Structure 1
Amino acid sequence: MELRRNAFKAAIQNGERQIGLWCSMSDSSVAEMLAGCGYDWLMFDTEHAALDPLSVLPLLQAVASYPVSAIVRPTSLNVAEIKKLLDCGAQTLLIPQIQNAEEARLAAASVAYPPEGIRGVAGLTRATGFGAIDGYARAAREEICLLVQIETKSALDDLEAICAVDGIDGVFIGPADLAASLGHAENPQHPDVKAAVADAVRRIRACGKPAGFLSLSQEWNREVDAAGSVFTAVDVDIAILRNGALARAKEWKSA
């Protein structure tokens, strides 16, 4: 059995535009349906959604046979949780709230086996094909994609140092928390925030790293895409459901 190739990592390393969808719903049938909708990647969120490694596992299984890459966001820079998600078979992780290069180095260590890192070794996991992938421990890091999330002023101040950390494969900008950090809570499209996001994308790309972004505003997504975002999440599953439900109710209530 061969180690699964990480198509998302290969694509962003080549600068190929990858369009994604943020997923917060725990139903594996919904995940499977979304996997066939044409997105390049789906991001399963355990930080703000009611998901954990146990509930993410069936989502990873549901989308595994589809031409879409699964990304998982752990609750925090938690070494034990990161290890568990990797053992469940996640190959791309988005680590939230990275504040500085020191935290970025810990994130990088968490996804690599010793002696380069601190990931714990286990042989009979989904990641190893339950022991069927020969040489998994030697080759795993090549197909693991580590994304770090920049969402505070302190992270922006240390952005070039974060990008320079060995093992960081991409840098994602989270606009909601960044807006709060810049003094514009609940107003992520404030001109100061939009300017900071565009500048951060340019700085990330200047460092030779792919940049990522998420917004529910398609106009803003297009602006950040034009600024150089390589992997952009263009909507959230629960927002799509709610917007569709609201529109249908309005249609019939006003008829």
Structure 2
Amino acid sequence: MVSQPMPLLNGEPHVGVFIKTASHQVVEVLGAAGLAFGVIDGEHAPIDRSVLDTMLLAGYACRLPLLVRVADGSGPAISSVLDMGAAGIVVPHVDCPEYARQVVAHAKFAGGRRGLSTSPRYAGYGSMSMHEAVCSGDETAVICQIEDPEGVQNAQLIAQVEGVDALFIGPLDLAHSLGADSVREPVVREACEHIARAACGAGKAAAIFLSDPSDKAYYQELGVTLFIIGSDQSMMRQGTRALSSA
């Protein structure tokens, strides 16, 4: 057993969803549907460590790469999910390059401070050598979420931090932090565009959450390649409403 396949940083567009329900069955259903990846929401959803472990195991079983949005950028929060075999992390509220460097250090063995053990899932439960475990662990993706005015201002510097693989644009969080009433307001759109250009200009991937799939084409033209469109909950709600209307 090795780290999950992570083809998401190859420059091609990929579509995934947020997973907010604490259920390995949800992961299996989404994996069978042909999605490119999923993002387990460990920041806002009530998902404890034991359930998260089972969800990541389900991701392995159906070969669905799973990122985890951690609650914060601390060492324990990051190393825990990576040891379980997450394909990468999404760290919220990264607002400066110094914080981005701390995140990378917590996520990486080589040049970082991630504690090494060959016994967790990512290292095949002890079946890997130390060198193999280090190489396997350092293949995971580090994605910094930009959702504050300071983060927008520092987006280029954050993207240039070695070890940061992508910038993730959170339009709803940006709207709130920028004092806007909607993600459609020009100030929010300009911030999203700025972050996308900062990522692409540094040779890094750009990711974005979209509640409306029709917005995908616009952001793809800007160079965004990772699209998190809705969530398991929103899909269930929309399907239920359609059924009720019918």
Cα contact 2:4–2:85 (8 A) shared by 1: no
- The equivalent residue for 1:154 is 150
1:31 Cα deviation (Å)?
1.1
- The equivalent residue for 1:35 is 31
Count of aligned residue pairs for this structure pair: 245
Divergent runs of 4+, >3 A? 3-6
Deviates more, 1:60-69 or 1:240-249: 60-69
Note if 1:201 corresponds to 2:200.
no
Cα contact 2:19–2:232 (8 A) shared by 1: yes
Cα contact 2:156–2:198 (8 A) shared by 1: yes
Cα contact 1:6–1:143 (8 A) shared by 2: no
The 3-state SS of whatever aligns with 2:156 is helix
Cα contact 1:6–1:144 (8 A) shared by 2: no
Cα contact 1:53–1:88 (8 A) shared by 2: no
1:122 Cα deviation (Å)?
2.2
Note if 1:166 corresponds to 2:162.
yes
1:44-59 alignment to 2 at 5 Å? 44-59=40-55
Give % identity. Answer: 27
- The equivalent residue for 2:57 is 61
Cα contact 2:6–2:140 (8 A) shared by 1: no
1:1-255 alignment to 2 at 5 Å? 3-4=2-3, 6-8=5-7, 11-12=8-9, 14-113=10-109, 116-134=111-129, 135-185=131-181, 187-251=182-246
In 2, Cα distance between equivalents of 1:138 and 1:62: 23
Cα contact 2:148–2:177 (8 A) shared by 1: yes
1:141 Cα deviation (Å)?
4.2
CA spacing shift, 1:5–1:242, aligned 2, 3 Å? closer
1:67 Cα deviation (Å)?
3.8
Q: CA RMSD, aligned part only?
A: 1.6
Instruction: Structure 2 unaligned segments of length 5 or more: list them.
Output: none
- Give the structure with higher Rg (CA): 1
In 1, Cα distance between equivalents of 2:84 and 2:216: 31
1:128 Cα deviation (Å)?
1.5
The 3-state SS of whatever aligns with 1:25 is coil
1:90 Cα deviation (Å)?
1.2
- For 1:193, give the aligned amino acid: V
Deviates more, 1:118-127 or 1:35-44: 118-127
Instruction: Structure 1 unaligned segments of length 5 or more: list them.
Output: none
1:30 Cα deviation (Å)?
1.4
In 1, Cα distance between equivalents of 2:124 and 2:157: 36
- For 1:4, give the aligned amino acid: S
Per-residue deviation, residues 80-134 of structure 1 (Å, max 9, x unmatched) = 11111111111311111101001000000001126x1111122321122110122
In 2, Cα distance between equivalents of 1:215 and 1:223: 11
CA spacing shift, 1:63–1:192, aligned 2, 3 Å? same
In 1, Cα distance between equivalents of 2:101 and 2:137: 15
TM-score normalized with structure 2 length? 0.94
1:32 Cα deviation (Å)?
0.4
1:138 Cα deviation (Å)?
3.0
TM-score normalized with structure 1 length? 0.90
In 2, Cα distance between equivalents of 1:85 and 1:193: 31
